Structure 1
């Protein structure tokens, strides 16, 4: 209970921005004045919070404002994408201090882990950060994951990654503790940490990367699932007449909604010559960027391809939101900014038409507040979240 109360106070101070007095913390948390005093004294001694001046609001002694000491703890977030690796250094507030991107090497896991370690070291050196203040490294990767063993198991587009012990290998290479998280779940955690919406709410996060995935937030916590692999939606059918998928079904998300599927549809429509030398992540990324640029320039045929992709994606989203009854939908990921304008124009109307609760309420749809780095930022926030955020599960008592 003591750890949970400390997390509640710290989270309340963190979300306040400018800080709160002890009396304001009592009002905001419902904890006793003695509990707030004891916990804030301990947080001050540990340097996690700091005094930020005094204010006079009426009779009596001035109130001391307590705010987060954001530089007291740092974390590193890494997003492993088949095309590009993103690295960020975060402070305790979740703000990005330093970032960099690197092209993902050929699929050999050893080369990729070595490249990760080198990029992390360069990031720390360039930022001038004290290594002692870095709580750990969070890595967001495509699933599925074996969380108990810290391994990545056959992720899409990383074809040689069969049970790669990424957690332990990167920890050995860098000297920092490493936490693995699915890229979709990490993105949802980033939205929780940096968003301004109520912490007790719920939302569906739709992740647009080389693959499509989802994450679910209920009562202010990211749902991870029993094996921490929630959100695998690649083989949900959204177009029964669509292309044949490797799973044997037609029209799965994997072959209809992903960037590769959209690029292939554009090639079949004659928007591009079908002259790509390969279907690797980098070439798909390049051609998808070209397609979106044509849409922005007013190419009606290119816009029709993206519009059809939005319609297919709405089938997936509406099926999930009708079942889960969440407050809102958030979209993000490394491919999001390129389709944001068209998708935000089309998806609300499409989802409203398919909503089972349209007579009761609207379903807000928005893009992530974090930007394209949402996976990496989320991975770094996962490290901070493990230590700092209050979890109701912490109150469960063992027998």
Structure 2
């Protein structure tokens, strides 16, 4: 936990240290406990607490008896003290959430991404969705700290520009942050989607949760967010997590990079849908048979609908559908076995807009594949689990980044 200091010049920093300590606590902290956890003096904690109460960011929430002496007043977050909007831009779906200061979703809206992938069309939908969540919640706009956007990378976090997202070329070099700020009047920031997902998971972690884990984000594509030593790792340019071109299946599908068996290509919904069409499990649009190896130009909505049909066929017991999913799970296990050994992580969290449809298959098959690929290097088990946040994890994380930028002592989780 960040430690504070007792110099008047950094009072604002001390405010964020105390607020962060209260936020991460289970049920709140007394002023005495804050002195111990932050390293601040009793007088500084008292002054900071009074400021935060006056600002409506924390509240006194009753008393607690801890051993001898008089009961101690407990300080807790005031959820309505501030809000943040989070937006997730996926080629398939746009998700918008409004979070309170505790990180709880107050309102949400989902919209289909435009089939064209046009950046300005997408922006217009985002602006409308933001207006909807603010109107439905009744939250005073003055209490909104800003808007965070989770977008496919790579991105330039300094300028808020989406650079060259491989699955949505219509957004190349799009000045998303500036355009959104101009359209909404709210401060805005842009982060990579897998980073935002990891931030959301870390935000919800208790103080004693695992500090070294990865978040496997499953949407239109796949990526990995990393929490190392308790901090979300973003890399030199905040673009860490692009795992798509790690080779996991040398005889597998041809990737756009020119190699075969890349992890991202082998597990993305489009690839699984095409394998199912070639195998006769699914019917292509129009009903005509598609020769093995012939790729179809399917829009994102069609891929999403066919992906749902594939998982439904596997649930109904179709052996071929099951084998297609199982091969992708095997590829994930192969990749994770290497990543776990490299980073010495003890937990893998799965989430994203496509995850819910895959979860039962991964729960049944991933542990077995992980055991098969175990290299007997780690001295501890690796736990696999679904996100505690849910399918909106990237949007929630984008909003958490706004709250962190405003209220965290380090400006990040």
TM-score higher than 0.5? yes
1:139 aligns with 2:140: no
Deviation of residue 19 (structure 1)?
A: 1.7
1:123 aligns with 2:158: no
Q: Is the CA contact (8 Å cut-off) linking 2:351 and 2:386 kept in structure 1?
A: yes
Of 321-330 and 89-98, more deviation after overlay is shown by 321-330
Cross-structure match for 2:380: 361
Cross-structure match for 1:45: 54
Deviation of residue 41 (structure 1)?
A: 2.0
In structure 2, stretches of 5+ residues that fail to align are 287-295
1:283 aligns with 2:293: no
1:192-236 Cα offsets, whole Å, 9 max, x none, are: 112346357111111101011111111221111111100111111
Separation in structure 2 between the aligned mates of residue 234 and residue 59 of structure 1, nearest angstrom = 58
1:72 aligns with 2:91: no
5 Å-filtered alignment, 1:32-181, equals 32-57=41-66, 59-105=68-114, 106-181=116-191
Q: SS of 2:169's equivalent?
A: coil
Distance 1:352 1:392, change over 3 A: farther
Distance 1:221 1:57, change over 3 A: closer
1:270-310 Cα offsets, whole Å, 9 max, x none, are: 21123367412111111111111122222222111111110
Cross-structure match for 2:292: none
Cross-structure match for 2:289: none
Separation in structure 2 between the aligned mates of residue 302 and residue 393 of structure 1, nearest angstrom = 42
Q: CA RMSD in A?
A: 2.1
Q: SS of 1:206's equivalent?
A: strand
Q: Is the CA contact (8 Å cut-off) linking 2:97 and 2:396 kept in structure 1?
A: yes
Distance 1:66 1:359, change over 3 A: closer
Q: SS of 1:171's equivalent?
A: helix
Deviation of residue 182 (structure 1)?
A: 0.6
5 Å-filtered alignment, 1:1-399, equals 1=5, 2=10, 3-57=12-66, 59-105=68-114, 106-196=116-206, 198=208, 201-275=211-285, 278-357=297-376, 360-391=379-410
Separation in structure 2 between the aligned mates of residue 380 and residue 196 of structure 1, nearest angstrom = 19
Q: Is the CA contact (8 Å cut-off) linking 2:25 and 2:207 kept in structure 1?
A: no
Q: Is the CA contact (8 Å cut-off) linking 2:244 and 2:262 kept in structure 1?
A: yes
1:143-196 Cα offsets, whole Å, 9 max, x none, are: 010122211122133122110000000110000011101110000000011234
Of 193-202 and 282-291, more deviation after overlay is shown by 193-202
Q: SS of 2:170's equivalent?
A: coil
Q: Is the CA contact (8 Å cut-off) linking 2:353 and 2:392 kept in structure 1?
A: yes
Q: Is the CA contact (8 Å cut-off) linking 2:344 and 2:378 kept in structure 1?
A: no
- Structure-1-length-normalised TM-score: 0.93
Distance 1:84 1:95, change over 3 A: same
- Structure-2-length-normalised TM-score: 0.90
Of 371-380 and 42-51, more deviation after overlay is shown by 42-51
Distance 1:298 1:4, change over 3 A: farther
Q: SS of 2:61's equivalent?
A: strand
1:70-129 Cα offsets, whole Å, 9 max, x none, are: 110100000001111000000011100000101112322111111111111121111101
Separation in structure 2 between the aligned mates of residue 359 and residue 40 of structure 1, nearest angstrom = 44
Separation in structure 2 between the aligned mates of residue 207 and residue 56 of structure 1, nearest angstrom = 43
Aligned length: 394
In structure 1, stretches of 5+ residues that fail to align are 395-399
Distance 1:123 1:58, change over 3 A: same
Distance 1:392 1:120, change over 3 A: closer
